[in-house]
Amino acid sequence: MFYAILRRFGQMLFVMFGISVIVFLIFFATPGADPAARIAGRNASPEVLAAVRHSFGFDQPLYVQYTRMMEKIFVTGDLTSFVNRGWKVVPAVMDSIPVTLSLVFGAAVLWVVVSIIIGVVAAATRDSWLDKLLMALGLLGISMPVYWLGEVMNLMTQSRYHESWAFSWVPPLGYKNFSDDPKGWFLTLVIPWITLAILYIGIYGRVLRAAIIESMQEDYIRTARAKGLSETRILFRHALRTSLIAFVTLFGLDFGALVGGSALLTEVVFGLHGIGKLTYDALQNLDLPMIMATVMYASMFVVIANAVVDFVYILLDPRLRAS
Amino acid sequence: MILSVRDLKVSFRTHDGPVRAIDGVSFDLEESEILGVVGESGSGKTVSLLAVMGLITDPNATIEGSIRYKGRELVGLPPRELRRLRGNEIAMIFQDPMTALTPVYTIGWQIAEQIRAHRGLSKSKAMERVEELLAEVNFPNPHEAMSRYPHQLSGGMRQRAVIAMALSCDPALLVADEPTTALDVTVQAGILDLVRKLRAKHKSAVVFITHDMGVVSELADRVMVMYAGRVVERGTRTELFSDPRHPYTRALLGSIPPLTGQKPRRLPAIPGSPPSLLRLPQGCAFGPRCPVRYEPCEAGKPGLGASAHAAACFRVAQA
């Protein structure tokens, strides 16, 4: 077991190394992508370009530049932005992490709980009006883009109906630190949580319903009925339990991606300065140190999420425990 | 009399019209008797016993007729009441032990689940009982086997676990749906031995569904042969094997290679294939494949009659 974890950790490091090299090469070694030209600005004289190149170390061999950048991210932590030279990227990423984690964790709790309820209820009342209604709502949730839904939410809760009793509790957009103001943290995040969760509730509810219905056709469900178990017990202990494997696969992928920056749209719409926003701005400015830092962070989360999913698999499915 | 089925009819609504899977099946079962139910795939042997178990959950199915268990009518019984019988007084063993157990729980857990559902024992008491049961079905190391997952056991061992599960509440009636079909021949013999031994010990009546005449001849007290949703012949094992009356039964027995004497150059097979239940032939369903058919066979469906050894065939009635 210990050896397996160690090996897994090694794999994770290897994947992250691969990603960092690829990102580095894309920005430094792609023909025509001269970082010095971007920093020096338009119409820079050859002397200025040379000076920029020298001061940023672009005249060094690639492997030296790469090693230096990694050293500055992981060892000294003093890598600075190309756009704003006083801006250290590692603290900037660290400051954004709690924002994104708060957003994604809360939304994940919401979507997991609600989609399990929806999936189970829809599967149990299969083909009834309730099932059809829930599935139609799920489809509606999937169809609404976050940037649109978020703006509609803002319109309702921040301006149009803000004065009404229903939304008067909604604080202005922005993020409050949990440690400073737990209540404010919670209240500012409620609307973003719901907005982000709606899409996933639709997807997960539908996936879970399909998985449960498929399980209900299995021979072991007939055995469970022959044992004289109640339908509720069969549904929860046998059908749902075996359906969760598909659910967890999906969750690991989505969660990793969201924490890694895919919650960008939600962050922008609600003025949350999280990882997604940071990555987006860095890409806009081709700010390589910042891109490198956010990408390393994102890949770390995706890799960790995958490892956690694999571990949960083993918990859920004894067939995977053998080796 | 433990089970008495009268004029059982099961039909399914399908896209191509209604299908009558079971068309007027009647049989009785005495205490601790083994009834062999024989027939090809699609002859309705499994469906009729699923109906007895109340396990036909398809909303497109309709069940008519009467199924009396110890005098109590099961058709139309509320699901709660049926559930109390299932697994407790009436238990079932399924065909494919590879898929009949939930993959994510241990054998012990799954057997204990059934015991606790009906007996309300504590977890540890239930587990003690599981260990006894696993020992009874010849698990070499019952205590260790309890914590095994289905995928860690061979097919034969899984089937033993399923049998232990079926026996866990001392059922008066055990329905075995081709329990040996998915297993190797050597394992089959062990399972048959086990069924016989357990019948003697638990005094359960057994309905043994199979398409294997060899199994029937080894195990059954009485035999019922089914074809296209109807019983075509019934009788004791001796009657059926020494004096088969229905042409279908004769053809089935004729297609078993003899162990002694001269071997036939070709094994006789029944010409044609079983009819689709959607398009049953006029009159006797076996008619088109029957070597001895004559005019009355197309005119009407032959009845089984009331005698103990009976065959649903006009030729037999005539003789």
Contact A318 B53 (CB under 8 A): no
Distance CA A13, CA A272 (A): 30
Say if residue A20 is in the same domain as residue A128.
no
Identify which of A218, A226, A233 has the shortest CB distance to residue B99: A218
Q: Name which of A123, A122, A124 is nearest A137 in CA terms.
A: A122
Distance CA B12, CA A196 (A): 45
Average pLDDT, chain B: 83
Q: Model confidence at A32, in pLDDT bands (50, 70, 90)? A: low
Distance CA A97, CA A274 (A): 6
Contact B162 A223 (CB under 8 A): yes
Residue whose pair of structure tokens reads 């399990």 in the numeric block: A116
Contact A223 B100 (CB under 8 A): yes
Identify which of B83, B100, B103 has the shortest CB distance to residue A228: B83
Q: b/e for B230-263, b at 16 or more Cβ within 10 A?
A: bbbbbbebebbbeebbbbbbbbbeeeeeeeeeee
Q: Model confidence at A160, in pLDDT bands (50, 70, 90)? A: confident
Q: Is A310 exposed, middle or buried (0-12, 13-18, 19+ CB in 10 A)?
A: middle
The DSSP bridge partners found for residue B206 are B34, B174
Please give the structure tokens belonging to residue A230.
């109640």
Residue whose pair of structure tokens reads 């409620």 in the numeric block: A190
pLDDT at B317: 65
- Spell out which chain B residues touch chain A, with contact meaning CB-CB distance below 8 angstroms: 53, 55, 57, 79, 83-88, 91-92, 94, 96, 99-104, 106, 113-114, 117-118, 149, 151-152, 162, 165
Q: Is A192 exposed, middle or buried (0-12, 13-18, 19+ CB in 10 A)?
A: buried
Task: List chain B residues with CB under 8 Å of A318.
Answer: 103-104, 106, 149, 151
Say if residue A149 is in the same domain as residue A269.
yes
pLDDT at A121: 93
Domain hosting A44: range is: 2-76
Q: Transcribe A183-215 into DSSP letters.
A: HHHHHHHHHHHHHHHHHHHHHHHHHHHHHHHHH
Say if residue A174 is in the same domain as residue A292.
yes
**pLDDT, tens only, A16-28:** 889 888 888 887 7
Q: Transcribe B228-282 into DSSP letters.
A: TTEEEEEEEHHHHHHS--SHHHHHHHHTSPPSSSPPPSS----SS-PPPTTSPPS
H or E segment at B17? strand B17-29
Task: List chain A residues with CB under 8 Å of B181.
Answer: none
Q: Maximum CA pair distance of chain A?
A: 86
Report the predicted TM-score, pTM, of the whole model to 2 decimal places: 0.82
H or E segment at B163? helix B155-167
pLDDT at A129: 92
Say if residue A64 is in the same domain as residue A168.
no
Contact A220 B103 (CB under 8 A): yes
Please give the structure tokens belonging to residue B256.
């078993």
pLDDT at A38: 73
Q: Edge to edge, what strands does the sheet with B3-14 contain?
A: B17-29, B3-14, B61-69, B72-73
Q: Name which of B178, B229, B192 is nearest B19 in CA terms.
A: B229
Task: List chain A residues with CB under 8 Å of B114.
Answer: 227-229
CATH second-level architecture of B29-53+79-220? Answer: 3-Layer(aba) Sandwich (3.40)
Q: What are phi and psi of A252, to 5 degrees?
A: -60, -45
Contact B84 A224 (CB under 8 A): no
Residue A112: is its pLDDT beyond 90? yes
Distance CA B129, CA B127 (A): 5
What is the CATH number for A156? 1.10.3720.10
Q: What are phi and psi of A199, to 5 degrees?
A: -55, -50
Please give the structure tokens belonging to residue B4.
């008495």
Residue whose pair of structure tokens reads 């957009």 in the numeric block: A173
Say if residue A14 is in the same domain as residue A152.
no
Say if residue A280 is in the same domain as residue A224.
yes
Q: Let me know: does A150 contact A270? Beta carbons within 8 Å.
A: yes
Contact A228 B118 (CB under 8 A): yes
Distance CA B283, CA B312 (A): 12
Q: Let me know: does A207 contact A240? Beta carbons within 8 Å.
A: no
Name which of A83-87, B38-42, B136-140 the model is least confident about: A83-87
A90 lies in a domain? Answer: no
Last residue of a domain, one of A20, A43, A76: A76
Identify which of A230, A237, A318 has the shortest CB distance to residue B83: A230
The nearest CA of chain B is from the CA of A241 a distance in Å of 8
Please give the structure tokens belonging to residue B109.
């857990």
In chain A, % of residues over pLDDT 90: 15
Q: Let me know: does B194 contact B218? Beta carbons within 8 Å.
A: no
ipTM of the complex: 0.85
Inter-chain Cβ pairs, chain A and chain B, closer than 8 A: 74
Highest mean pLDDT among A32-41, A165-174, A207-216, B90-99: A207-216
Give the helix ranges, DSSP H, for chain A.
2-28, 35-40, 46-56, 62-71, 89-124, 129-143, 146-154, 182-216, 219-226, 231-233, 241-257, 264-269, 275-284, 288-316
The SS3 call for residue B148 is: coil
Contact B101 A223 (CB under 8 A): yes
The SS3 call for residue A178 is: coil
Q: Name which of A240, A208, A213, A206 is nearest A132 in CA terms.
A: A206
Last residue of a domain, one of A76, A110, A134: A76
Task: List chain A residues with CB under 8 Å of B100.
Answer: 219-220, 222-223
Q: Model confidence at B318, in pLDDT bands (50, 70, 90)? A: low
Say if residue A7 is in the same domain as residue A110.
no
Say if residue A109 is in the same domain as residue A223.
yes
Task: List chain B residues with CB under 8 Å of A224.
Answer: 102
pLDDT at B199: 82
Last residue of a domain, one of A42, A76, A110: A76
Report the 10 Å Cβ neighbour count for B115.
24
Task: List chain A residues with CB under 8 Å of B118.
Answer: 228
Task: List chain A residues with CB under 8 Å of B101.
Answer: 220, 223
Mutate to test the interface with A, among B99, B102, B114, B168 (most CBs of A within 10 A): B102
**Mean pLDDT within A174-181:** 80
pLDDT at B103: 87
Say if residue A131 is in the same domain as residue A102.
yes
**pLDDT, tens only, B49-95:** 888 888 887 888 888 888 888 888 888 888 888 888 888 888 888 88
Distance CA A266, CA A193 (A): 9
Q: In chain B, what are the helix, strand and coil shares in percent, each to the nearest 5?
A: 35, 25, 40
Contact A226 B91 (CB under 8 A): yes
A84 lies in a domain? Answer: no
Report the 10 Å Cβ neighbour count for A322.
8
A88 lies in a domain? Answer: no
Q: Model confidence at B98, in pLDDT bands (50, 70, 90)? A: confident
Highest mean pLDDT among A169-173, A180-184, B206-210: B206-210
**Residues written for chain A:** 323
Q: What are phi and psi of B67, to 5 degrees?
A: -125, 110
Residue whose pair of structure tokens reads 């032990």 in the numeric block: B97
The SS3 call for residue B55 is: coil
The DSSP bridge partners found for residue A46 are none
The SS3 call for residue B35 is: strand
Task: List chain A residues with CB under 8 Å of B117.
Answer: 227-230, 233
The DSSP bridge partners found for residue B14 are B17
Say if residue A174 is in the same domain as residue A313.
yes
Residue A323: is its pLDDT beyond 60? no
**pLDDT, tens only, B265-311:** 777 777 777 777 777 777 777 877 877 777 777 777 777 777 778 77
Say if residue A52 is in the same domain as residue A193.
no
Say if residue A55 is in the same domain as residue A102.
no
Between the alpha carbon of residue B271 and those of residues B251, B255, B292, B309, the distances in Å are: 10, 11, 13, 26
Q: Model confidence at A116, in pLDDT bands (50, 70, 90)? A: very high
